[in-house]
Every structure is written in C-alpha cells, then in structure tokens.
C-alpha cells in the first residue's frame, strides 16, 4: 500500500493506517522540527502535536492531495502556532516587567520625595508645620484650619507666609511640596 492510499483509511478513522503513517513519517516530521527549532525536546513535542492534529482533523484530509503534503502543512501550522505563542508570552512578560519596574521607580521616587519633604518640614516650628501641612498638603482652607487649631484665619495666613519664607531657603522645597501635593 502506498503512502497516499492511507489518506482515505485515516479519513475514515482507521487507527492501524494512522499508526503505519506515524511510523513511516515520524522521523521526517521530527527532522523538520529539529531543523527549524534546533531543540530535540521541542522537536519531540511539536512532532507529537502535528500527529495529534493529523488524527484530530482526519475528517478534513483531502483525497486529491498527497498525505505527505497535508502532513507537512499541519507541521508548518503547528510550528507557526508555537512561534506565535512564544512571541505573545515574551511580549506579555516584557510588558509585565516594564510595568513592574515603572511602578517600583514611581514608588521609590514618591518615598524619596516624602522623605525630603519630612526633612524640610522638620525645620519649621510645630504649629507652623501643622498649619502648613493642613493648608498646602491636605488642602484645608484658612478658615477650616483656624477652626481646627482654635486660631484666627489671619494667624493661619501669617504662619503660611512665614513657613513659605523659611522653606524658600531650601533648594527644591517648592517643587517637592508640589510633587507631594500631586501624589496625595
């Protein structure tokens, strides 16, 4: 029986014909995958997949085409599917890595900025620091701060003015305060 005579038998579900084709073609299909991937393990896996697909889709085999041509078409699509899968996995891994690194950099930067702000604000007297934090970082109005601290809005304004003058002597203080306000 010629190789091409097996198309009809496999198409009809003849397992013996499939096993014969497997035994006759296995080495050629394996060699194809080995050449394309340079990996014995991957060539083994892809060879198995190609023959699984041949059996699974046996009902679609065309009687007018050679079994060899159809088997290698299946092998080629199996290889392409594998490369697509690998490319998607690599792209997803790269994306995850970049996102993770970006998040870590942002968190580190935010932490450093907060630490710088704490250091700068520690130079203010306690009440002035509290007024400044409530106003510039937490966003309270002068009236709300005055009510919370039992001082007049005018006194709050004076503390803010003095804090800004005192902080003006620290390079980058305004930028750090703006950054922290945006982060919160």
Question: What would the pLDDT profile of 113-159 be if each residue is shown by its tens digit?
Answer: 677 777 778 888 889 889 888 888 888 999 999 999 999 999 999 98
Mean of the pLDDT values across residues 33-56?
96
CATH number of 123-183: 1.10.10
Of the candidates 71, 78, 60, the one whose C-alpha atom is nearest the C-alpha of residue 13 is: 60
For the chain, which residues make up each domain, given as ranges? 3-93, 123-183
pLDDT at 171 over 60: no
What is the pTM (predicted TM-score) of this model? 0.53
Confidence of residue 2 (pLDDT cuts 50, 70, 90): low
Query: What is the chain's length?
Result: 184
Q: Encode pLDDT of 72-83 as tens digits.
A: 999 999 999 999
Specify the DSSP element, H or E, that contains 51: helix 40-56
Task: Output the CA torsion sign for 53, 58, 59, 63.
Answer: positive
Q: How far apart (Å, rounded) are the C-alpha atoms in residues 42 and 32? A: 11
CATH 1.10.150.130 fits 3-93, yes or no: no
Query: What is the structure's pLDDT at 183?
Result: 47
| Buried-exposed string 77-92: b where 16+ CB fall within 10 A, e elsewhere | ebbeebeeeeeeeeee
Max intra-chain CA distance, the chain = 105
- 3-93 and 123-183, same CATH topology: no
CB of 88 closer than 8 Å to CB of 37: no
């Amino acid at each position: 029986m010629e190789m091409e005579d097996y198309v009809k038998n496999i198409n009809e579900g003849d397992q013996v014909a499939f096993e014969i084709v497997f035994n006759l073609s296995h080495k050629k299909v394996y060699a194809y995958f080995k050449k394309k991937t340079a990996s014995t393990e991957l060539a083994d896996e892809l060879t198995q997949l190609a023959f699984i697909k041949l059996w699974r889709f046996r009902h679609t085999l065309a009687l007018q085409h050679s079994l060899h041509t159809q088997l290698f078409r299946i092998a080629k699509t199996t290889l392409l599917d594998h490369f697509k899968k690998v490319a998607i996995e690599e792209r997803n891994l790269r994306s995850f890595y970049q996102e993770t690194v970006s998040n870590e950099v942002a968190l580190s930067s935010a932490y450093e900025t907060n630490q710088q702000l704490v250091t700068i604000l520690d130079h203010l007297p306690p009440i002035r620091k509290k007024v400044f934090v409530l106003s510039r970082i937490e966003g309270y109005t002068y009236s709300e701060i005055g009510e919370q601290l039992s001082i007049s809005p005018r006194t709050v304004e004076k503390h803010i003015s003095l804090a800004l003058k005192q902080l003006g002597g620290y390079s980058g203080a305004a930028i750090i305060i703006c950054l922290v306000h945006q982060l919160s």
